[in-house]
């Protein structure tokens, strides 16, 4: 049975629609075959995060960003992300959320940590306060300001060097003379030590001997204190004879 062109076009359109439906279910936010729950995360800035951005649990993809809302609580504006995560990704008290780059293309994802070990599991719909991502524009601005200040300091330093060039040269020259004088003093001291080496050694030896003798005398007097009295009597007798 031959098919006419109209039937062929109709069949092709039907196949394309079925394929699109399958891709939509697989890549979209339809999770008919998976059980999961939602969790709320609040940030001040979610630059780069979009609907269907991936959600990672300890580095493993477990869900998507299901919705993004603006929460204005008496002027305190927060961006609230509604995350759909798989039922197996259980979050505990102390769980943290952060925004990071997924790759070099700049795509952002929401990262979740499991929380405190042994903590109570968070109920669906619980709110987590997210850790703010670094503001690269502010960092770049601060870097430019620091570079500008360093450049200004460098210019001022060069100006001071140029203005005090003669004084610096004179100071360096004086330092060189001082170093030469110190070297001469050290050299003379070494010569004197070399010339009088024997005398110095003899003096040190004599001092050591004297120290030993004094120690022995002190020890002997401690053991025999009567010697002091005896010597005193001898000296007294000699004085009487005179």
Write the pLDDT tens digit of every residue in 159-195: 888 888 888 888 888 888 889 889 889 888 888 888 8
- Residue 30: its pLDDT value, please? 47
- Residue 12: its pLDDT value, please? 83
What distance, in Å, lies between the first and last C-alpha atoms of the chain?
165
Q: What is the pLDDT of residues 6-18, one digit of tens each?
A: 777 777 888 888 8
Whether 149 is in a domain gets the answer no
Whether 173 is in a domain gets the answer no
Domain-ending residue, one of 132, 156, 174: 132
Name 122's bridge partners.
none
Q: What is the pLDDT of residues 51-101, one digit of tens each?
A: 989 999 988 999 999 999 998 887 788 889 999 999 988 899 999 999 888
Whether 192 is in a domain gets the answer no
Residue 129 burial (CB count, 10 A): 13
Using CA atoms, how far apart are residues 209 and 214, in angstroms rounded to an integer? 9
Please say whether the beta carbons of 122 and 115 come within 8 A.
yes
DSSP state, residue 90: -
Question: For the chain, what is the domain count?
Answer: 2
pTM: 0.47
User: Can you give the residue range of the structural domain that contains 59?
Assistant: 32-132
Please say whether the beta carbons of 110 and 81 come within 8 A.
yes
Q: How many CA atoms lie within 13 A of 184 on its CB side?
A: 6
């Amino acid at each position: 049975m031959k098919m006419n062109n109209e039937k062929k076009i109709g069949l092709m359109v039907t196949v394309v629609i079925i394929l699109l439906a399958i891709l939509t279910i697989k890549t979209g936010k339809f999770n008919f075959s998976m059980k999961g729950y939602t969790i709320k995360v609040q940030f001040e800035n979610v630059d780069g995060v979009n609907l269907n951005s991936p959600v990672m649990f300890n580095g493993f993809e477990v869900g998507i960003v299901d919705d993004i809302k603006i929460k204005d609580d008496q002027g305190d504006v927060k961006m609230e992300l509604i995350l759909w995560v798989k039922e197996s990704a259980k979050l505990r008290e102390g769980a943290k959320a952060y925004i990071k780059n997924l790759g070099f293309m700049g795509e952002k994802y929401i990262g979740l940590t499991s929380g405190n070990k042994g903590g109570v599991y968070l109920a669906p719909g619980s709110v987590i306060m997210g850790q703010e991502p670094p503001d690269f524009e502010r960092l770049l601005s601060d870097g430019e300001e620091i570079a500008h200040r360093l450049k200004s300091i460098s210019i001022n330093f060069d100006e001071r060097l140029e203005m005090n060039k003669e004084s610096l040269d004179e100071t360096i020259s004086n330092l060189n003379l001082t170093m030469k004088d110190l070297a001469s003093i050290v050299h003379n001291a070494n010569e004197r030590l070399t010339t009088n080496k024997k005398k110095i050694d003899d003096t040190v030896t004599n001092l050591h001997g004297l120290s030993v003798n004094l120690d022995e005398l002190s020890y002997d007097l401690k053991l025999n204190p009567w010697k002091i009295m005896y010597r005193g009597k001898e000296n007294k007798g000699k004085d009487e004879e005179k």
